[in-house]
Amino acid sequence: MAVRTATPVTGWLLRGSDGRLTAYAPTEGGIARWTEARPGGPEWTGPELLPAPDLEPYLSIAQEPQGYVRLVGVRRRSADERTDTDVVTEVVYATQFQSGRPLTHWRSIGTPHHADWERAHQIGVPEAVCDSVGLQVFVRNAGGGVCARRQDARGLWGPWTDLKGSHVLDSLSSGVTSDGRVELLAPASEFVLRWRQDEPGGPLQRARNIPAKPAACSSTSVPTADDRITHFWRDTTDSALHVLRREAADDPDGHDGPGAGVVGGTGSGPVAALRATVDGRDCVVLAQRSTSGLPAVAVCPAGDDPSDVHWSETGEEFASQSAPALALDASGRVVLAVIGEDGRLWVARQTRAEKGFALGEWGRV
């Protein structure tokens, strides 16, 4: 089963309500899925094919508090004779309610451009997040701004809303705090654009732009403290990893100094980030595809702005159009996963046999 990814994402490894980890990746004809045979591994089942005809090779994944997994993508299908176009473009989603169980049917939520198929064909890849109410989906629209659609607590979808913005690149990234507040980041040609909820379930409010030269398809937004989402992106000039500094993120009026800091180390694609306990300390584990093509890992204190972190390479070279993923297993150990050049899932698990952060041997699934 050949995995095919056009736009790399990091959030494709998740732990279900039963404690088992599941990995997802686009493949010919649908989604490849691997599932731990039991919580904490080491055995896995898969890959198995979850059919998704005409789905583009991209997947945004969000998880609800009760463990339900929402998969969101773009479907481009041949139109019938009743439609004045050759191809119909739709944002679609499916739900997995339990680890290893079938998905629901793929359902369409359309696009911000409705039946204007020429403009619908120009949308970017979707970004999905679950807040305190339900699923929200964001896309770059044909005009270069951002549009959103959200599901309420009853499962009903509201209309597409225009969040504004301009010159937005693929792809967007979002994160949700422990109390259910969403923050959204959109890389643009001269800035990173931001929106956030002031209260759980509230409307997204525009925050000030941060001057930057972000690379497309390089941003990540992850919770790194109870009340904090940290945003990362790569610079177009040198592929260095940048971070939105805490004071810039917290000051909507822009009275602080420069908004972006350099994390250190170069690589490609978005960085995976995960809050975890290392030697009894609250930390953030980072993983990226290094310039050598190998996975590289770093650890920094949670709540601080990462700066000049030390990267350690590990494992084998993995696919250039993919990104690593991080998750905590049922035992609280960090699990790092990549899609190898052979299209197989490769997994390494944190070992606690030595001081500091260390990964055990890599295994191919």
Q: Is 350 a member of any domain?
A: no
Q: Is 275 a member of any domain?
A: no
Q: Is 254 a member of any domain?
A: yes
CB under 8 Å, gap of 24 or more: what pairs does 343-348 form? 343/1, 343/2, 343/3, 343/319, 345/23, 345/25, 345/34, 345/44, 345/46, 345/47, 346/315, 346/316, 346/318, 347/41, 347/44, 348/314, 348/315
Q: Is 170 a member of any domain?
A: yes
Q: Is 193 a member of any domain?
A: yes
CA 234 to each of CA 260, 296, 301: distance values in angstroms, whole numbers, following the listed order: 11, 15, 21
Model pLDDT for residues 129-170, shown as the tens digit of each residue? 998 899 999 999 999 999 999 999 899 999 999 999 999 998
| Residue showing tokens 């070279």 | 317
Domain that holds residue 185: 13-270
Sign of the Cα torsion 105, 109, 115, 120 reads negative
Query: What is residue 247's predicted lDDT score, i.e. its pLDDT?
Result: 65
CA 109 to each of CA 85, 144, 236, 329: distance values in angstroms, whole numbers, following the listed order: 18, 20, 33, 33
Count of domains forming the chain: 1
Report the alpha-carbon angle 91-224-288, nearest 5: 70
Report yes or no: 295 and 315 within 8 Å, Cβ to Cβ: yes
Q: Give the CATH number of the domain where residue 143 resides.
A: 2.120.10.10
Positions in the chain short of pLDDT 70:
1-2, 4-6, 81-84, 247-258
Q: Is 147 a member of any domain?
A: yes
Q: Is 347 a member of any domain?
A: no
Q: Is 248 a member of any domain?
A: yes
Query: What is residue 85's predicted lDDT score, i.e. its pLDDT?
Result: 75
